[in-house]
C-alpha cells in the first residue's frame, strides 16, 4: 500500500455513500412525476404538462410550493413528537437502502448481515406513522396511525417468513452472495432466479411490500375518502413533503430488495459474473439493476391505478389467515426438500 | 442443535453484526447515515423557517369535516389493536428464531428439521387456536 492509499482510503467509501444518497434522494421527484404521467395515461387524461417541456419541471415547482407553504401545528398537538414523526418515516427508509447492492459488489456498506440489517432498520418507520397519527390530536389521524401500525406489523411477519425462505435457498445472508447464485440457467429454460425457486415466497413478499409501504390496494391508513389522508391530515409544507419522500423511498428500498432477492439483482441472466470486473462490467451491472428496479416501480404504479382498495377486515384476514399460514407451509416445504435434496429446478452447467 | 448453531461460521456472522464489516464499510455507512439524517432534519428545520407565519385560531384548529370540534382525539380506542401488537411480538420472535436455522438447516439435517418442525407445529397450533377463538376477526 502506498502513502497515497493510506491517506486517501476514506475517499472512495465516502464518495460512494454520497453518490448513492444523492441518487436516491433525486429519484423521488422523478418517480412522483412518472407516477402522475403514468396514472394520467392509464386513466386517459393528460397529466402534468405545463411546467417545462412535457411537464418535466413539475416536481421542482411542487417542491418550491411545499417549501413556502405555512407550516401549521394544530392546537393540542404533542409538538416535539409531531415534528419528529415525518423524520422517523423518512430516515429508516433511506438508511435501509444502504445495504442493497446496486452493482457488482457496489453498495454503501456490505455487512455480513445485509438482509437482517435492512429488516431491522426499515421496521423503525412504523414509529413515525404511529407518532404522527397520535401527536396530531386529530381523530382521522389517530385512526390512520393505528391502522398503519397494525397493518405494518401484521405484514412484517409474513415478509420476514418469506425472506427466511430465500435465506434457506441461498444459505447466506449476504445480499451480494444471494445475487451471485442467481445468474445461471436451469431446467425448463429458466434463469436461476429465486422467483422460480421460491414462487410462494415471491408472491407473499410482493404483497407484503405493498402493505408495508402503504400503497394501494393497501393504502387504508390514508384513505382519502374516509380518513382525509389519515396520519398526515394535519401536516403541511415540508413536513408533509418529508412524509411523502419517506413513502417513496421505502417503495424504492422494497423494490430494490425484491430485485436483489428474487429477480437476480445486478446479474445479467445466463451470463457468468466476472471474477475481476472491469469498469464496463460494473456499469453494465448497475444498468441491469436499474432496468429491473424501473420495471418493478412501474408495476407498483400500475397496480395503484388499477386495483380498488381493500376493506380493513379483508386486509387483516389476508395477512393473518392466508399469508402467514402459507409462508409457514412454504418454509416447511423448503426445509424438507432442502434436507432431502429435492429440487425442481436443477442448475445446468453452462 | 445449539452447539451446531453457535459453532457455525454463518451464525457467528449474525452475532458479530458490525465486526464483520471492514472499516471502509463502517465509514461509508456512517457518512451515509449522517448525511441522510442531516437532510431529514434540515427539511424539518426549513419547514419551520421558510413560509409565512400568520397565527390564527381558526387555522390552527384541528380538522374535523369543517364543523366545530366536538371533543378531543385523546380517547380510548378499540382493544383489537393491542391484540394485534401482542400477536405480532409472538410471531416476530418466531421469525427471529428461524433466522439462524435458515442459514444452517442443511448441516443440521433430519434431526434439525424434526426439531424445527415441532417448534413450528406448536406455533401453528397457537395460530389455529387464536383463529378458532376469533382473535383474528374484525367486525
Task: Answer with the one of B75, B103, B120 that is the final residue of a domain.
Answer: B75
For residue A203, what pLDDT is reported?
Answer: 92
pLDDT at B71 over 70: yes
Instruction: Tell whether ipTM is more than 0.85.
Output: no
- The residue segments making up the domain with residue A173 are 13-340
Binning pLDDT at 50, 70 and 90, where does residue A87 land?
very high
Partner-chain contact A137 B72, CB within 8 Å: yes
**Of A165-179, B70-84, B122-136, where does mean pLDDT reach its minimum?**
B70-84
Binning pLDDT at 50, 70 and 90, where does residue B14 land?
very low
Task: Answer with the one of B29, B45, B75 that is the final residue of a domain.
Answer: B75
Binning pLDDT at 50, 70 and 90, where does residue B18 land?
very low
Partner-chain contact A317 B136, CB within 8 Å: yes
Q: Tell me, yes or no, whether A8 lies in a domain.
A: no
Q: Taking the CB of residue A238, how many other CB atoms lie within 10 A of it?
A: 27
Sequence-ordered list of residues with C-beta below 8 angstroms from that of B106, at least 6 positions apart, any chain: A171, A338, A339
Q: How many CA atoms lie within 13 A of A30 on its CB side?
A: 10
Q: What is the mean pLDDT of residues B122-126?
A: 88
pTM of the model: 0.87
pLDDT at A73 over 90: no
For residue B20, what pLDDT is reported?
Answer: 43
Note whether B83 and B119 are same-domain residues.
yes
Sequence-ordered list of residues with C-beta below 8 angstroms from that of A100, at least 6 positions apart, any chain: A107, A114, A118, A175, A253, A256, A257, A260
Note whether B1 and B55 are same-domain residues.
yes
Instruction: Give the distance from residue A237's alpha carbon to the nearest chain B alpha carbon, in angstroms.
Output: 6
Binning pLDDT at 50, 70 and 90, where does residue B2 land?
very low
Residue A169 near chain B (CB below 8 Å): no
- In angstroms, rounded to a whole number, what is the distance separating the alpha carbons of residues A202 and A214? 18
Chain A residues with CB under 8 Å of B13 CB are: 112-113, 173
Chain A residues with CB under 8 Å of B91 CB are: 157, 324
Partner-chain contact B60 A149, CB within 8 Å: no
For residue A288, what pLDDT is reported?
Answer: 92
Cα torsion angle, A298, A302, A304, A307, sign: negative
pLDDT at B137 over 90: no
Torsion of CA A63, A68, A69, A72, to 10 degrees: 120
Partner-chain contact A83 B10, CB within 8 Å: no
Chain A residues with CB under 8 Å of B40 CB are: 86-87, 90-91, 94, 242
- In angstroms, rounded to a whole number, what is the distance separating the alpha carbons of residues B136 and B139? 10
Note whether B30 and B71 are same-domain residues.
yes
Q: What are phi and psi of A106, to 5 degrees?
A: -115, 105
Note whether B5 and B68 are same-domain residues.
yes
Q: In A, residues 249-308, which contact B (CB 8 Å cutoff)?
A: none
The grid coordinates listed for A262 are 428474487
* More confident of the two residues A52 and A19: A19
Q: What is the mean pLDDT of residues B124-136?
A: 87
pLDDT at A343 over 50: yes
What are A146-196's pLDDT values in tens digits?
888 888 888 888 999 999 999 888 888 888 888 888 887 777 777 788 888
Note whether B69 and B81 are same-domain residues.
no
Of the partner residues A76, A160, A167, the one whose CB lies closest to the CB of residue B72: A76
Give which of A134, A314, A141, A130 is closest to A227, Cα–Cα: A141
Percent pLDDT > 90 in chain A is: 19
- In angstroms, rounded to a whole number, what is the distance separating the alpha carbons of residues A296 and B18? 31
For residue A91, what pLDDT is reported?
Answer: 92
For residue A202, what pLDDT is reported?
Answer: 92
What are A103-155's pLDDT values in tens digits?
888 888 887 778 888 888 888 888 988 888 888 888 888 888 888 888 888 88
- In angstroms, rounded to a whole number, what is the distance separating the alpha carbons of residues A321 and A26? 39
Q: What are phi and psi of A191, to 5 degrees?
A: -75, 160
Number of domains in chain A: 1
Percent pLDDT > 70 in chain B is: 83
pLDDT at B10 over 60: no
For residue A347, what pLDDT is reported?
Answer: 65
Note whether B61 and B115 are same-domain residues.
no
Beta bridge pairs of residue A1 = none
Give me the helices (H) in B50-79, please.
57-60
Give the 3-state secondary structure of A102-128.
CECCECCCCCCCHHHHHHHHHCCHHHH
Q: Tell me, yes or no, whether A158 lies in a domain.
A: yes
- In angstroms, rounded to a whole number, what is the distance separating the alpha carbons of residues A97 and A77? 32
Instruction: Give the distance from residue A188's alpha carbon to the nearest chain B alpha carbon, in angstroms.
Output: 26
Sequence-ordered list of residues with C-beta below 8 angstroms from that of B6, at least 6 positions apart, any chain: B12
Number of domains in chain B: 2
pLDDT at B5 over 50: no
pLDDT at A6 over 80: no
Of the partner residues B13, B31, B124, the one whose CB lies closest to the CB of residue A328: B124
Cα torsion angle, B23, B25, B29, B32, sign: positive
Q: What is the mean pLDDT of residues A79-93?
A: 89
- The residue segments making up the domain with residue B104 are 77-139
Torsion of CA B41, B45, B47, B53, to 10 degrees: 160
For residue A295, what pLDDT is reported?
Answer: 94
CB A292 within 8 A of CB A205: no
B125 upstream amide cis, omega within 30 of 0: no
For residue B17, what pLDDT is reported?
Answer: 44
Q: In A, residues 104-123, which contact B (CB 8 Å cutoff)?
A: 108-113, 116-117
Q: What is the mean pLDDT of residues A77-82?
A: 85
The grid coordinates listed for B85 are 401488537
Task: Answer with the one of B52, B75, B98 that is the final residue of a domain.
Answer: B75
Residue A153 near chain B (CB below 8 Å): yes
Burial tier of A154 (Cβ tally within 10 Å: 0-12, 13-18, 19+): buried
Residue A313 near chain B (CB below 8 Å): yes
What is the rounded average pLDDT for all residues in chain A?
A: 85
Amino acid at each position: 500500500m502506498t502513502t497515497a492509499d493510506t491517506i486517501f482510503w476514506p475517499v472512495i467509501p465516502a464518495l460512494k455513500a454520497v453518490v448513492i444518497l444523492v441518487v436516491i434522494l433525486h429519484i423521488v421527484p422523478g418517480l412522483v412525476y412518472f407516477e402522475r404521467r403514468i396514472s394520467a395515461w392509464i386513466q386517459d387524461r393528460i397529466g402534468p404538462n405545463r411546467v417545462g417541456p412535457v411537464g418535466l419541471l413539475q416536481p421542482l415547482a411542487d417542491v418550491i410550493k411545499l417549501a413556502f407553504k405555512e407550516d401549521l401545528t394544530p392546537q393540542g398537538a404533542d409538538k416535539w413528537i409531531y415534528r419528529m414523526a415525518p423524520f422517523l418515516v423518512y430516515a429508516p427508509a433511506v438508511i435501509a437502502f444502504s445495504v442493497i447492492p446496486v452493482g457488482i459488489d457496489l453498495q454503501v456498506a456490505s455487512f455480513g448481515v445485509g438482509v437482517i440489517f435492512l429488516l431491522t432498520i426499515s421496521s423503525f418507520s412504523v414509529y413515525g406513522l404511529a407518532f404522527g397519527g397520535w401527536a396530531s390530536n386529530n381523530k382521522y389521524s389517530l385512526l390512520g396511525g393505528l391502522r398503519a401500525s397494525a397493518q405494518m406489523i401484521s405484514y412484517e411477519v409474513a415478509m420476514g417468513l418469506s425472506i427466511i425462505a430465500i435465506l434457506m435457498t441461498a444459505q447466506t445472508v449476504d445480499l451480494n452472495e444471494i445475487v451471485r447464485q442467481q445468474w445461471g440457467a436451469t431446467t425448463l429454460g429458466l434463469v436461476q432466479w429465486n422467483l422460480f425457486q421460491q414462487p410462494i415466497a415471491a408472491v407473499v413478499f410482493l404483497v407484503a411490500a405493498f402493505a408495508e409501504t402503504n400503497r394501494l390496494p393497501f393504502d387504508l391508513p390514508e384513505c382519502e375518502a374516509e380518513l382525509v389522508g389519515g396520519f398526515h391530515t394535519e401536516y403541511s409544507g415540508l413536513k408533509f413533503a418529508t412524509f411523502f419522500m419517506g413513502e417513496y423511498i421505502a417503495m424504492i428500498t422494497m423494490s430494490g430488495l425484491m430485485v436483489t432477492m428474487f429477480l437476480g439483482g445486478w446479474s445479467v441472466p445466463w451470463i457468468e459474473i466476472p471474477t475481476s470486473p472491469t469498469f464496463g462490467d460494473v456499469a453494465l451491472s448497475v444498468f441491469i439493476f436499474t432496468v429491473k428496479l424501473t420495471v418493478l416501480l412501474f408495476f407498483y404504479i400500475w397496480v395503484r391505478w388499477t386495483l380498488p382498495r381493500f376493506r380493513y377486515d379483508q386486509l387483516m384476514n389476508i395477512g393473518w389467515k392466508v399469508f402467514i399460514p402459507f409462508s409457514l407451509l412454504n418454509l416447511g416445504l423448503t426445509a424438507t426438500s432442502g434436507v432431502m435434496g429435492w429440487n425442481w429446478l436443477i442448475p445446468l452447467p453452462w | 442443535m445449539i452447539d451446531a448453531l453457535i459453532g457455525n461460521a454463518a451464525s457467528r456472522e449474525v452475532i458479530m453484526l458490525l465486526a464483520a464489516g471492514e472499516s471502509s464499510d463502517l465509514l461509508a455507512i456512517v457518512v451515509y447515515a449522517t448525511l441522510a439524517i442531516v437532510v431529514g432534519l434540515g427539511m424539518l428545520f426549513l419547514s419551520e423557517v421558510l413560509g409565512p407565519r400568520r397565527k390564527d385560531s381558526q387555522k390552527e384548529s384541528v380538522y374535523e369535516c369543517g364543523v366545530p370540534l366536538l371533543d378531543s382525539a385523546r380517547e380510548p380506542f378499540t382493544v383489537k389493536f393491542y391484540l394485534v401488537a401482542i400477536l405480532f411480538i409472538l410471531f416476530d420472535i418466531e421469525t427471529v428464531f428461524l433466522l439462524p436455522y435458515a442459514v444452517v438447516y442443511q448441516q443440521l439435517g433430519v434431526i434439525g428439521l424434526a426439531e424445527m418442525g415441532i417448534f413450528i407445529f406448536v406455533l401453528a397450533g397457537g395460530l389455529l387456536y387464536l383463529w378458532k377463538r376469533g382473535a383474528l376477526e374484525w367486525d
